[in-house]
Structure 1
């Protein structure tokens, strides 16, 4: 005889103890199957002559891969090589930490082309995410 299961809907806008418990349990199950995630966040910042933030990259290293979550360059500094320099620094950091590669995603085809010029290859795409665009995933394994 099957037991009844109660489905409880929680607020979506706040982190709850229950959602933290779900994350912890999934993390433990993944760790048992694939090894410890050993997650380490990173940030690399670029500042102008006046000390103002002009660019940066941040992300996380896990399972010996670096995930670049954000790359941002101030509008006034774009097209001057700063984004490539920041990605180069992220790659150096990843190599120094023993990573086997870097991965990233973007919603813009021109940005995907930028990453491809840096040696990344497309590994996936989700069409119409966000609506009218695509989410493009790229990776750069170290050889």
Structure 2
């Protein structure tokens, strides 16, 4: 056996490992093909076309994964973040999502306000912080 450390893996190398892992997973628990993922962005722009808020998410495997929710500092506290979250959850439900989930370091209180619950905490990622894994039922 030979061990390889590949510090900057190519797409081909990453794909090979991912494919082998997916074959193993499917042999035990068949999952939908990742090509069925529905990645989407909902942006909010001001009258000058400048980006003031946005959400990046992915609807797949009966779930909605929130990757990024950002609101420009000058628009925080206006309800814009809550509106974006609600729009993303609605789109997720339309795609069949029954649960929404995310990771956050700083916005735990915000998400709790809209029904999300902590289901896991990773300490010291980065050092001195907590990475909260949160979920919310959509059904």
For residues 27-79 of structure 1, what are the alpha-carbon distances to aligned partners after superposition, in whole Å with 9 as ceiling and x for unaligned? 33333414214322111111112211111001212211010011111111111
Structure with the greater alpha carbon radius of gyration = 1
Structure 1: tracts of 5 or more residues without a match: none
Q: Hey, what does 1:119 align to over in structure 2?
A: 115
TM-score normalised by the chain length of structure 2: 0.90
Q: 2-side partners of 1:59 and 1:15: how far apart? A: 25
Q: 2:102 pairs with 98, 101, 104, which one? A: 104
State the superposition RMSD in angstroms: 1.4
Instruction: Count residues in correspondence.
Output: 136
Q: Hey, what does 2:132 align to over in structure 1?
A: 136
TM-score normalised by the chain length of structure 1: 0.88
Structure 2: tracts of 5 or more residues without a match: none
* Runs ≥4 residues deviating over 2 A: 27-32
Q: Does 1:36 align with 2:29?
A: no
